[in-house]
Amino acid sequence: MRLHYNKFSRATRVRWLLEELGATYEINEVAFGPDGTRSMAHLEVHPLGKLPALTDDDGTHLFESSALVLHLADKYPGLAPAPGTSARGRYYQWVVYGVAELEAPVAEFFFATRVPEEQKDPARIAKAQADFDKVAAPVEAVLARHDWILGAEFSAADCVVGGVLTWADRMGMCEKFPAIHAYAGRCAARPAFKRGRQ
């Protein structure tokens, strides 16, 4: 199994999970740009030339970070509730919420703030923060009650939700959300999280 990866991409959440699971995998370091993500070789692995992607043991190429997390958590059991249970439903809920609701304003904030100072548009930045505040509020309520997104135990869903929220926290988006800020700290302190960002 080979993870197509670079440490400045969403591939870190997948590598974090692989480390949590103790899986054996290879890393294919792919730079952004014509010689990496845009190369013909990488376009055969990911049709949009993005990261992450995974070449599975049988040679199948897979992409979309949340799908890779769901697949790997089934392939190496231990970090996902049993299929067909309501706990599994809640697990899907938070994985999908992580990418469908939380991630868009975080990515927008990232792109709005990484331009030179004179090109920054305060209204665009404020809108991304306000959009994040709306979707972060339900997560703040959950994390005020327990340490991880599904409860007392860490799960693969934390690699998605925590992957997005550690990114938001690093950019200073979580100041109004003490429980999320503390959660981001717990995620970042995990040895597998650190190994997943080399």
Contacts to ligand GSH by CB under 6 A: 9-10, 32, 37, 49-52, 64-65, 99
Distance from C-alpha of 115 to C-alpha of 121, rounded to nearest angstrom: 9
3 state SS for 96-120? HHHHHHHHHHHHHHHHHHCCCHHHC
Nearer to ligand GSH, 49 or 105 (CB): 49
Which residue is associated with the tokens 């043991």?
Answer: 57
- Closest CB to ligand GSH among residues 32, 76: 32
Q: Closest CB to ligand GSH among 51 and 128?
A: 51
- In the bound complex, what is the minimum distance in angstroms from residue 6's beta carbon to ligand GSH? 8
Instruction: Name the residue with the smallest CB distance to ligand GSH.
Output: 50
The DSSP-derived string for 134-156 is HHHHHHHHHHHH-SBTTBSS--H
* Smallest separation, CB 51 to ligand GSH (Å): 4
Q: Which DSSP state fits 28?
A: E
Radius of gyration from C-alpha coordinates of the chain: 17
Give least dist CB 21 to ligand GSH, A. 18
For residue 111, is it left (φ>0), alpha (ψ between -120 and 50) or beta? alpha
Nearest to ligand GSH of 56, 64 (CB atom) = 64
Measured from the CB atom, the residue of 99 and 165 that comes closer to ligand GSH is 99
Single-letter amino acid code for the residue at 44: E
CB of 62 to ligand GSH, least distance (A): 10
Residue 77 CB, shortest distance to ligand GSH, in Å, is 23
Nearer to ligand GSH, 131 or 147 (CB): 131
Check if the beta carbon of residue 102 is closer than 8 Å to that of residue 165. Answer: yes
Least distance (Å) from ligand GSH to the CB of residue 49? 6
- Cα-flanking dihedrals φ and ψ of residue 27, to 5°? -110, 130
